[in-house]
Structures are given as structure tokens and as C-alpha cells.
Chains A and B, each alone.
Chain A
């Protein structure tokens, strides 16, 4: 069953068009990887879903209703959370306060402070520290925990491995099975193709704002993906 569907989504930054008629179906409980080169429109796609960017009329549906006209703060309350690129933690808030503000909408669900600390025990030790004093990997854990605190049905992760050491990336990705076990649907935007394909049920490749490949990761050869990624 489709949880979130994008039909003919076009997006602009001013007069500059970034997305052209993008169609994506995200099934409930699935893990979807969105891959593509820099500037392909991956982040723009996530920003369109969250309402941070104005979208073309009636093109995005979530849980059976159109969310196209809704502002970002109302979309979170429906159950879509985002881990933004570069983490974007609140520097004036402590680790614990960053997590607590994730629960601002008061959506009920399995994720509480205690559960997030269970998932990332190191955050419990550092809970009083200002969020920006943590290491990059720990900050990424706060960003993921902050998104989980809103108990999302759909969790969007934008480039969570960017700028982190491989061993740190591995420890962060180890958290995803526990998140998916709650039935949370996952959309992961990654430049690290190998990692994205390893965890995803379906993969969508974007190139210059258009979908160039959709399907199960196993369907495709390296050459297919390279073509979809860079063009032929």
C-alpha cells in the first residue's frame, strides 16, 4: 500500500526549475533509496515533501490526503519527519532539549526520550552538553533522534553519511533496523550508492531533476546505475 505518492512534482528555486514531473511511490514500511549526483534534485525532493518548498498544485499525497498546500509545521504533525542535510541542530539547546523539541507536535507513538537513549546510549551520557559540542557522528544521532521524537510514519534522511568516517557511518546505519521494526517507512538520500542499495527495498535515481531509474536494487547492474546516475 502506498503511504506517500508524488505525481508530476515540479519544483523551482525562483525561476530555476530543479524537478521536472517527478513520480515516486513510497510503500508503507518500505525503505526507499534516492540516489543521484550533486544537483540532481534529491534534497529538493525531500524539501518538497516536507513543505519547506512550494510545490505545484495537488501533486503530493500522504496517507490518503493531499498535503500539497500544507505548511511545513502542519505536515510534521501528520507524521513526516526529516533529518536535514548537515544535521542543523539547534546550537542554543542542549542535546536533551534538541530531542525534546522533536516531540513538539505531541504525536503519540513508540519513540520517547528513553527509547532514543536506548538506541543511542552515548547521547544519554552527553544529554546536558550543548548539541554543537558533540562529534559529527553523535550530532547525527541527535538529528535522527530528534526526528524520531515526532513519531513519524515516514522518516526522510538527507545525506546522513556526509562528512563522517566509515566506522561512524556504520554505527549510525546499525540503528535503522530498530527504527524500521516500528513500521516506520524510510526514505534515504545518499551519495554513497553501495550503502543505499544495501539497505533499500526500492531505489530511485534522479538525474538533472528527472527520474532515470526505478526498481529493486537487485534488478540493476553497475552499468545500469552508472548510466542512470551520470547519463550516457
Chain B
């Protein structure tokens, strides 16, 4: 076996992890801050992809430039959704938000189906979809994969900085610890939760744009992306965004190696690694311990 056969899938897998991290960050944020699991999370990614399609067709701009429109629109949608639909069902019982977001998932899929049909769609970008950089020795990385990976690292670093250094981040952490006492500090938790969802949807919209540029998509693709996001968050460890990135890279490497071994078993290899991590290290790669 040549070095190439070993290094190449690892490299491609790590880069794929960038996309998977972007898939997962929104889910990690809403669980971390509100203890809320958004079952429609995968559908929001797909909604972002279709929004990219619409923006590209209407404005005729580059798909990556569509982010400037898609991200704020989805963030605004997230804010309103949280305030109008999700805040009223958040409470001690975790079941109501699960049911509501499950319903939302069904609605989004069906609306997308009604508007765009079940045919697969894609957006055309310029050479970035196929261009690559040669690293010598037959190794090459795609420009697009590299851009996605760099954006993912930047998003994680930016969010970690936001959480550690800003008043908003402090309010997020305090509310995550104890939302009742956070209100005693003057924090309006309804508004704060809506801001958290706006942030989560904004990052998820970035993932949606990249998905649209990278591959074709259909309205019912959401649940499979939700599964990826779940696995990444659990492998990485709850509450740590660097852990999410690490988990995404591990899942990416597992899938690419699995795919090289047998083109039908890439996804299965990812699931197996997920199960192994769950068995050996249930707290995840980077666990953030809290004495609550």
C-alpha cells in the first residue's frame, strides 16, 4: 500500500469534517444554551440550500456571495420562530419542543416539495466546484473543500471568542447554567433564546450554502443531515465547539476511509465509529465538565 492510499483519505476526510462541523454547530448551540433539540435542524440546512438556489437564480450572483443574503434571512427566521413558536413550549418537559420541531420538519419538507418538486436541484458555481491544489505526490485538495474547512474553523473560533469574551456570551453561559437566576440578573431569556436560535440558524445557513455549491439536493435530505449533526455533536462532546470540530473530522475520516474500502460502506463506517466512541468515551472527545 502506498503512502498516498493512506494519507489521501485522511486528508479528504479531515476536510469533509469542515462541512460536517458546520452541519452540527447549530444543533450544538441550541442544545448547549436552551437544552432544546431541534428535530428540524437538518431541514434548515436544506432550506438554506434551496434559499441559495433562489438567490442565485433571481440575482444572478455567485453562490458563495448568496451567503450575504441567505445567512441574515435564515437568522431572522430563527429569531421569529423561537419567539413565536418555540419559546412557548420550552420548559421542564423536553418533549413539547421535540414534537413541535418534528412537525416543523414535516412542514418544511412538504413546502419545499410543493414549491421545487422532488427533482434534485443544484447550483452552478464557477471553477471553484472542480478546481484543486496539487500538493505533490499525487495528492490534491479541492479549493471548495479547503474554503469550507477554513470557514468552519473560523466559525468555531469566532463563536468560542464570543462565548468567552463578550457580554452576550456571558449571558448565554449564565442562562445555560440557571435560566431562573439569569432572569434575576436582568436577562430577558425569551429574547436571549431567540438570539441563540438566530445564531444557530445563521451558522446552519452557511452549511446550507456550502451544501448547495458542493452537491445536488432534494427536499427530503434533511433527516440524513440531522443524523450527521447528531453524531458529530455526540462524538465531539456536548457543549464544546472545538469538540464538535474534532468530532466532525473524525466522522469525515471514517466515512472517506470506509468509502475507499468499499464504495457502499462509507456512511456505515461513520456510524460504526460513532458507536465505538459512544461505547468507549460516552462523554465525547472533548467533554466540558460542569459541576452543576
Contacts and interface: CB of A to CB of B under 8 A. Distances in A.
Interface of A: 50, 52, 71-74, 76-77, 81-82, 84, 88, 90-93, 97, 100-102, 104-105, 132, 146, 150
A81 B186 CA distance: 9
- Interface pairs A-B: 3 shortest CB-CB: A105-B186, A76-B186, A72-B183
B111 to A, nearest CB: 34
A52 B180 contact: yes
Contact of B171 (A50, A72, A82, A104): A104
A73 B291 contact: no
A92 B290 contact: yes
Nearest to A81: B184
A141 to B, nearest CB: 17
Contacts of B181: 84, 88, 90
A72 B181 CA distance: 9
B292 A101 contact: no
Contact of A102 (B178, B185, B290): B185
B170 A100 contact: yes
Contact of A93 (B173, B188, B291): B173
Contacts of B112: none
Interface in B8-46: none
Contact of A71 (B178, B183, B292): B183
Contacts of A77: 186
A100 B169 CA distance: 12
Contacts of B186: 73, 76-77, 104-105, 150
Given A52-B180, A90-B173, A93-B170, A73 B188 contact: yes
A84 B176 CA distance: 18
Contacts of A88: 178, 181
A90 B183 CA distance: 12
A92 B33 CA distance: 12
A74 B159 CA distance: 28
A97 B184 contact: no
